[in-house]
Chains A and B, each alone.
Chain A
């Protein structure tokens, strides 16, 4: 019995998640914190991949929805709602914001769309900086500290973030397998042609954007509860919004496992560069990213062992020939 590639990828993904969940009871608190960050980045990558990968729209609004989630969670908890309900509020707020922003923004394409989404992020940061009675302005908002000892709190947020990444993964799998995902891929290839074969292009695009926005906001909600303090520069971070697409590109655009691999790969790469080149790390990291994308345009998922083997053979045989 042979499995379809997407089912195989799904099984691999599920196995990885199961392994990660089991680690929750073995890791120390620092490792759990790193794991939580990695799970958060993977969730954001998977969310971005729906719009940026499957649909081919270069969105830079990840941090915009993430920030909305942070604030929605903080405000909901300040109203006395329990943490789980506050997270759902965050996801709903993200979905609503994505719908409201998507209606005008999704009429733009390519670079125009990218610039539109980054403008949305900048505007939202300014709004949160100035709407003091709601967001606390530049002073930020306090969230209630999660009760419990550090070990159980660390494990709780790790599992919550991992659960969200799993949800994003399963959503991606569902999209990948259904007519919806097929429609999104058609849109990526040729929007006019997609419309001609009967795909309601605008509805599909909006649905994908809302889905992605809700997932990003959910991640923001969990993050804000974990840090217990939120301020505009952290919630609406320009770095996050740019790093996420880079991670997915490293892993493989529009694939099921690409965002997971890219997220983990990027974190390891960044840690390595940061640990070894403290003063030049941004520059070296940038060059490495350019190199990876240049030599592996389809990301890590695009590596074919056979091709690598033949490339290696070609290189070595050349060396043999040129050696005296």
Chain B
């Protein structure tokens, strides 16, 4: 028995020596991910985005921290789309897993609540999916947002339609009563009023609404030139179908952000034709990325190879959140929070997602808003001119 034990000891010693020879130090990013609950759809997309970053960085040999290569690892837990749980998980990530950096959860409210914890510990946190400036209104030192503010999107849309369709004057706005849709609808109203559009109505619908006939009939009677609807993709699918049932037509129908995800066109089929939308990112906006992916197009190809579909701005922003952190750490040559935070504050990061530059409240303010339209089943870029793939086709449904 003793001999057996000695043998075992020798083997385990050898094994541990081998392990230490090969061992590479790991750098861990913590992330609460909504894998279940109402935000699961988007949460899982963010997770895919993070995975893209982690795989690519490790393929390159890891994170170069002052000449030492560290393996990147994502420590993630499901927060079940519950705020209390997200807060608990961030506490766990900081205290138990001891992660030096965090990626924010999907929901804007959850981002705000967890950012409070990160701020208390001084752990930098990058948010991939919060675009509403109110998320950043507490001026936390440790919260950074990849998506640029809503107003940049609505300004770009209003300017483009004013130029290309001068006869469009009267707008009806319909938004889900939730943090993001409500905020972007409010920005649209502000942008449109400033440019001389007439706002016929600015209405809200409650979460889980399935029957929009009342509100759509009302909108129909206003005879708007432009209908602007925003909410979750499922809501927008229902709205587009019920518009067709009720014969609601307009020169311009814009939906945020549903049509930028493939699910929208897959569900409404032909009804998606000529619906316009916007996006924070699209692979056709061919940004160059010397760090890992090469360019937006190449990022999308890599994404497609792994997940068998195109990346949307959501996954791209998640990848960019992780990539920006890695770039900041390499630039700072240390994993110390203070140094990395300083780099995040001051540097512009050129990524496949576009240039990222954090403002003094911590939100990316580099404007690269895209105006897009579904034409013959394909999502094409209308503006800015540099990335244009097609001209605007007026009329929803399209006139034969």
Residues of the B chain whose Cβ atoms lie less than 8 Å from the Cβ of A231: 83, 109, 179
Is A78 located at the chain interface by the 8 A CB criterion? no
Q: How far is the CB of A263 from chain B (nearest CB, A)?
A: 14
**Closest Cβ neighbor of B97 among chain A residues:** A30
Is A171 located at the chain interface by the 8 A CB criterion? no
Residues of the B chain whose Cβ atoms lie less than 8 Å from the Cβ of A30: 88, 91-92, 94-96
- For the complex, what is the distance from the CA of A139 to the CA of B138, rounded to whole Å? 13
A-B CB contacts (within 8 Å), total count: 85
Interface residues on B, range: 20 to 34
Is A150 located at the chain interface by the 8 A CB criterion? yes
- For the complex, what is the distance from the CA of A229 to the CA of B119, rounded to whole Å? 13
Q: How far is the CB of B193 from chain A (nearest CB, A)?
A: 19
Residues of the B chain whose Cβ atoms lie less than 8 Å from the Cβ of A139: 132, 134, 179, 182-183
- For the complex, what is the distance from the CA of A204 to the CA of B158, rounded to whole Å? 61
Is A6 located at the chain interface by the 8 A CB criterion? no
Contact yes or no, B120 A150, CB < 8 A: yes
Interface residues of A in 135-149 (CB under 8 A from B): 137-140, 142, 145
Residues of the A chain whose Cβ atoms lie less than 8 Å from the Cβ of B112: 140, 142, 229
Residues of the B chain whose Cβ atoms lie less than 8 Å from the Cβ of A129: 177, 206
Contact yes or no, A34 B88, CB < 8 A: yes
**Closest Cβ neighbor of B140 among chain A residues:** A145
Is B116 located at the chain interface by the 8 A CB criterion? yes
> Are A33 and B91 also in contact (CB < 8 A) when A126-B206, A140-B179, A145-B119 are?
yes
Is B12 located at the chain interface by the 8 A CB criterion? no
Is B137 located at the chain interface by the 8 A CB criterion? yes
Most B CB contacts (10 A, CB to CB) among A30, A139, A154, A234 go to A139
> Are A28 and B95 also in contact (CB < 8 A) when A33-B88, A34-B88, A233-B109 are?
yes
Is A278 located at the chain interface by the 8 A CB criterion? yes
Is A192 located at the chain interface by the 8 A CB criterion? no
> Are A274 and B78 also in contact (CB < 8 A) when A30-B92, A228-B116 are?
yes
Q: How far is the CB of A11 from chain B (nearest CB, A)?
A: 31
- For the complex, what is the distance from the CA of A233 to the CA of B95, rounded to whole Å? 27
**Closest Cβ neighbor of A237 among chain B residues:** B82
Q: How far is the CB of A267 from chain B (nearest CB, A)?
A: 11
Is B344 located at the chain interface by the 8 A CB criterion? no
Q: How far is the CB of B76 from chain A (nearest CB, A)?
A: 11
Task: Give a binary string over A116-131; 1 marks a CB under 8 Å from any B CB, 0 the rest.
Answer: 0000000000100110
Interface residues of A (CB under 8 A from B): 28-30, 33-34, 37, 126, 129-130, 137-140, 142, 145, 150, 153-154, 223, 226-229, 231, 233-234, 237, 239, 274, 278-279, 281-282
